[in-house]
Structure formats: C-alpha cells, structure tokens
Amino acid sequence: MRYVPHSSSDRTALLSACGLPGMDDLFADTPAKARLKMPLAIPEGISEPELLAELSGLAQKNSASSWLGGGSDDHFIPAALKHIISRSEFYTAYTPYQAEASQGTLQSIYEYQSMICELTGMDAANASMYDGATALAEAALLATRVTGRKEIVVSAAVHPNHRAVLKTYAQAAGLTVKEVAFDPKIGQTTDSLALGTASACYVLQQPNFFGCLEPVNGLAGKASCAGALFIVSVDPISLGLLKAPGDYGADIVVGEGQSLGNPRSFGGPGLGLFAVKDRLVRQIPGRLSGLTVDKNGQRGFCLTLQTREQHIRRERAPSNICSNEALAALAAVVYLSLMGKQGLRQVAALCLQKAHYLKKKLGKKVVFSSPSFKEFVVKSEKPVGLDLNRFYPELKGCRLICVTELTDKTALDRLAGEL
C-alpha cells in the first residue's frame, strides 16, 4: 500500500478540529531539545521506477549463499504454500473461541498438531508457541511444576539465545539454571549425569547449536532414575533422517519450526514446536485443538484444552502465553503436506550430503570431530557464517557454517577455495 501524505488542507482541518493554530502547537508538550531542528540527512525522494532499479542493483550485490544458520535457515518453500496461507480465511482469522464459526482454523491447528506428533514421536502437541526459545522455556517450567523441583539442567551446547530466554524465565520464577559444558574437541555435551535431587529436567539440543549430533541413547532412563524429565530441542528438518525424540524416551520435545515452510524474514516470526507424552498433556501450555462429533454425529473440531490464565485461576495456568503462531503453523502444515515423508527425507539427506561434502573439503579447518547434520564449526577470520565469539569467547576465530538443500555445488567449492 502506497504512502499518501496529508495535504495542507487536510492538516489545516485536523488542527482546526483540535483547536490548535499551527503544527508547533500540536507538539508543544515535546521538549525543545527533543525536536528536529533541521532536515534529516537522507537523499531526496525519487520516483518508484528509479527506486525499484536502485534496490534491484543493491540486491544483485548479495551473495547467493549466506551460510548463516543457528535456528533460522534457508530452506526451499514450495510455490503453492504462499498462495494457500494468503487466503483471507487464514490470514485474517481470529482466535477460534467460537467453534461453530472457526472449523477451518481449528482443523488446520488439529492437522498441525497431528503432524508434529508424527514427526517427533510424541503423544500430544499444542497449537504452537511463539518460537523455539519460548517453547524451551515453557518446557522447563512444565518440568518444575510436575517434579516440584527448582533446578533446570541445560547443556551449554543448546542455542545461546534460547538459554538466555530460559534464564529470564527462571529468574522471574525463582528457579536455578545449571549449565553443563561441552567438549572443546568433539563439540558434544560432556556430562549427561549432572542431575541431582533438586534437578527438574535435563535439556539437550539435537543436533546441538554447533550442528553436532549428541549421543542420546540411555539419557531418558538416566533422567528418569534421577526423578527428572528429559527435554529435547530439535531441528524438525533433521527428523527426516534422525530418530524421533519420542523413540528414545524424551518426555518433552520442543524446537524452532521456521524451517518448515516459513521464510527467514530478517529473523522472524518464529514457530515454537511443543509436544509431550500423554501423561503431561494436562500441563501443556497454550491451547490444543481436538476432534469430536456434534449433536448430529458429524465430525467437528473444538478447543479441547485451553488451560490459560484467561480461562482458569491465574496461579493454576500452565502459561501466560495466550496465543499461538497460527499462520506460521499453517505454513508448516502445508509444507509437510506438500513434501510428504519421502520429500522431507530427501531434503534432510541433501542437507547432510552437501554439508559433509564441504566439511570434507575443508579438512583441518573443521573444529569439532563429532558427526554433524547440516551445520558445523570452522576456523576462519573471514566474515562467513555466524561468528561464535559473540556467544562463546573460547571459540574466538570460529564460525558456524550452515548448508541446506538450496546450496549448490559451485557455492560449496567457492567457499572451500576462499577458506
């Protein structure tokens, strides 16, 4: 929508309606030192064709491959997806409180939940969280409620931004966050037995922030023996190849779902995946859509669980997050439907193969020796990928490289030559 400024007659009419003689009087309460006293140092306006030509020229300077990952990855989005989620029934839909008027929205949520359960190997999934970080924090809070314990044990190889959100939640709730170090040679978490009698949960990321695969077999049993829950944060694309967390005993599975049909969009919005085993479903945050039948025996959908602070006593609400990323979740539904099981497996296989092709070519530049999926860490002073020094001072001079199915061989060879 083009911006159309007010005409001088419009401004005069507005000021007259406010009973003000001039524009300066409209801002009389603004301190003089805060007012702009000279024109902004920006170029003069140009026509729309000129602007498009200039922006196109700038766009041509962008590298075809950014190598950036860290939870916001560049994956293929089928052309049909945008057309489906752009239908007005979806992008203008409001919270489906009235089931009789919201069957389409409720069904799309139900289908999303079903697909997330199938993908993660879990029993129940909610309608989504804001992003992977809030999903992780809410999972930890769930664990503290269920166990009655106050300590959250988390691997230092979990996404640093997600851990930062977790610590913010924990501080406000009077909880303790204990971090477990990672091995500087192999890039995996060092101590999976760092659970005590006060530990509510053990949080692991698979693959971890460095792209390394964590050895997960047996961890669920160890956490259970310690009276704690096992929480796994996943990259949903990796589940096209890797074992589902529910199959190796995870109690709660969370993750960032941006890669499922959602563009990067300069960092947002995200999509928080959240799934649990059946025994924890009453503690699930947010809302859950369910399948039922109406009085005529016809199939219908409704909000089965919505134990939020709007509906029950605030102190009993599992979460104060009262919404979900419905449109981003719909994009995930459409993406998974269009790709299918074999398509998702093929995407994951391409990520794995291309990443390992580059990893092999870089040889000794690769920092960690453990197996990886689509991301890995290299030693490089060149501004490629994600600079890890901002999160891990001990990894100064190291970069996180992300390779997806969209990265072509020419780009891989070029980067290998530059490094």
Residue 92: which CATH number? 3.40.640.10
Q: Is residue 98 part of a domain?
A: yes
C-alpha distance across the termini of the chain, in Å? 44
**Which pLDDT score, from 0 to 100, does residue 309 have?**
55
**Same domain membership, residue 409 and residue 317:** no
Q: Report yes or no: 318 and 283 within 8 Å, Cβ to Cβ.
A: yes
Helix (H, G, I), strand (E, B) or coil at 94: coil
Q: Residues 61, 66, 68, CA angle at the centre, nearest 5°? A: 150
Half-sphere exposure for 86 (CA within 13 Å, toward CB) = 5
- pLDDT score recorded for residue 142: 97
Q: What is the CATH number of the domain that holds 401?
A: 3.90.1150.10
pLDDT value for 163: 98
Q: What is the pLDDT of residue 64?
A: 63
CB 290 within 8 A of CB 272: no
pLDDT in tens, the chain (419 residues): 355 678 889 989 989 999 999 888 888 899 988 888 888 888 888 999 999 999 999 988 876 677 999 999 999 999 999 999 999 888 877 778 777 778 889 999 999 999 999 999 999 999 999 999 999 999 999 999 999 999 999 999 999 999 999 999 999 999 999 999 999 999 999 976 689 999 999 999 999 999 999 999 999 999 999 999 999 999 999 999 999 999 999 999 999 999 999 999 888 889 999 999 999 999 999 888 999 998 899 999 988 877 655 666 677 777 777 778 899 999 999 999 999 999 999 999 999 999 999 999 999 999 999 999 999 999 998 889 999 999 999 999 999 999 999 999 999 999 999 98
Supply 381's token pair.
């002073």
For residue 277, what are the domain limits? 79-334
Last residue of a domain, one of 286, 318, 334: 334
Interatomic CA distance for residues 172 and 158, integer angstroms: 21
Q: Find all residues with CB under 8 Å of 380, minimum gap 6, and list them.
A: 365, 397, 398, 399, 419
Q: Is residue 233 located within the same domain as residue 361?
A: no
Query: Residue 410, Cβ neighbours under 10 Å: how many?
Result: 10
Q: Chain centroid to CA 211: how far?
A: 16
Same-domain check for residues 302 and 379? no
C-alpha 77/C-alpha 263 separation (Å) is: 8
Report the pLDDT value the prediction gives residue 233, as an integer from 0 to 100: 98
Residue pair 136/166 in contact by the 8 Å Cβ criterion: yes
The pLDDT of residue 1 is 36
- Complete DSSP assignment for 296-359: TS-EEEEEEE--BTTTS-GGG-SBS-----HHHHHHHHHHHHHHHHHHHHHHHHHHHHHHHHHH
Cα 388 to Cα 393: distance, rounded to the nearest angstrom:
8
Q: What are phi and psi of 81, to 5 degrees?
A: -60, -50
Give yes or no for a contact between 201 and 231, defined as CB atoms under 8 angstroms apart.
Answer: yes
Residues 319, 403 within the same domain: no
Q: Which of 402, 404, 400 is nearest to 346 (CA)?
A: 404
Q: Please check whether residues 407 and 347 belong to one and the same domain.
A: yes
pLDDT in tens, 328-355: 999 999 999 999 999 999 999 999 999 9
Calpha distance 55→116 (Å, rounded): 39
The helix/strand/coil state of 118 is helix
Q: Do residues 370 and 405 share a domain? A: yes
Q: How many domains does the chain have?
A: 2
Res 320: pLDDT: 74
For the chain, give the percent of residues with pLDDT over 70. 96
DSSP code of residue 365: G
Asked if residue 293 and residue 167 are part of one domain, the reply reads yes
Instruction: Report residue 60 CA to chain centroid gap.
Output: 29
Q: Tell me, yes or no, whether 314 and 376 share the same domain.
A: no
What CA–CA distances, in Å, run from 73 to 51, 66, 77, 192, 296?
Answer: 29, 10, 12, 28, 46
CB atoms within 10 A of CB 206: 26
Residue 147 burial by Cβ neighbours in a 10 Å radius (0-12, 13-18, 19+): middle
Residue 12 lies in a domain: no
Instruction: Give the residue ranges of DSSP H helices in 79-156.
Output: 79-85, 88-91, 103-120, 132-147
Residue where a domain terminates, one of 314, 334, 354: 334
366 to 99, 181, 328: CA distances (angstroms): 53, 20, 34
* Residues 305 and 191 placed together within one structural domain of the fold: yes
Which of 334, 365, 392 is where one domain is finished? 334
Sheet of strand 375-379: strand arrangement: 375-379, 398-402, 386-387
